[in-house]
Structure 1
Amino acid sequence: MTILPITLTFAAAATIINLWLGFRVSQIRTSAKVLTGDGGNPLLLARMRAHANYTEYTPFFLILVGLIELARGSQLWLSILAAAFVVGRILHAFGMDSVDKPAKGRIIGILVTWLVLIGLAGWALVIAYLGMPTPVTADMVAG
């Protein structure tokens, strides 16, 4: 059985961040007494969008990390890119709280997210089309 420690680590981190983002939405919902929608509250809308934006990008990130790790991508670079994604998403979430003007955290978070995803997508294409030697294991021979 293949264990993907980087993917598992960052999937766990992604889950915790997702829960944290949901909690931040719930805090505003409770204080503003808004059960559904944004109730016209700009901070609630911003936090809802930060949460939704996170759920839009994270699946692609996790799929790419998992497949690259499975293909025996560099663990160091994969870990660095995954950590950058996590930091970028946290910066984006805090930056979204600034509803009046674009915050630096939001802009940096967006750029980091996009650069990481572009890097991972490019890396995946290199593996797919230029090949990358994968060591043969006993599982591969037996299966």
Structure 2
Amino acid sequence: MEHSLTITGFYAGILALLYIALSFKVIGLRRRLKIGLGDGGDKELSKAIRVHGNFVEYVPFALLLLAILEINNGSQFVMHALGGALVTCRFLHAIGIAKSSGKSWQRFVGVLGTFLAMLILAIMNIAYMLF
């Protein structure tokens, strides 16, 4: 049986563009501040590094869960809803940290939405095996 990962590929592509933007933010700050490693005590660079790092910590696993669900012929509607939520939530998370002292509704919604999307994907993949 042949499987296509067009839905996962679509959201992976969008998230890759966001990842590149986050990377360029860190690179630009490093160049402007002349800081090669670490954050040099600069709060703006520290936040940019954490936004980038947090993205790397969660997005690959979420995309893996989405891909597995797609291989298992999950609902296209649900996959698009969760993929769209993941993109939106990662964008909100980045804005929430960059534009605040750490606490913001964007960060809260971004984190909560990312966790919920991953939780739903995990449960759906487990349910596929059990039922």
TM above 0.5: yes
**Bigger radius of gyration among the two:** 1
TM tier, smaller: over 0.9
The answer (yes or no) to whether the contact 1:42–1:99 under 8 Å persists in 2 is no
Aligned to 2:54: 53
**Residues 115-124 or 26-35, more deviating:** 26-35
Once the two structures are TM-superposed, the CA of residue 29 in structure 1 deviates from its matched residue by 1.2
How many residues align? The count is 130
Look up the equivalent residue of 1:11 and give its one-letter code. A
Once the two structures are TM-superposed, the CA of residue 49 in structure 1 deviates from its matched residue by 0.6
Aligned to 1:6: 7
The answer (yes or no) to whether the contact 2:96–2:102 under 8 Å persists in 1 is no
Q: Is 2:40 the counterpart of 1:39?
A: yes
- TM-score, with normalisation over the residues of structure 1? 0.86
Deviations 1:22-61 (A, max 9, x none): 0111121122111111010011011101101000101111
Once the two structures are TM-superposed, the CA of residue 98 in structure 1 deviates from its matched residue by 3.5
Distance in 2 of aligned mates of 1:53 and 1:10: 18
Aligned-residue RMSD, C-alpha: 1.1
Aligned to 2:114: 113
Aligned to 1:74: 75
Unaligned runs of 5+ in 1: 131-143
The answer (yes or no) to whether the contact 2:85–2:117 under 8 Å persists in 1 is yes
- TM-score, with normalisation over the residues of structure 2? 0.94
Look up the equivalent residue of 1:88 and give its one-letter code. C
Distance in 1 of aligned mates of 2:5 and 2:108: 31
Unaligned runs of 5+ in 2: none
Secondary structure (helix, strand or coil) at the match of 1:36 reads coil
Overall identity of the aligned pairs, in %:
32
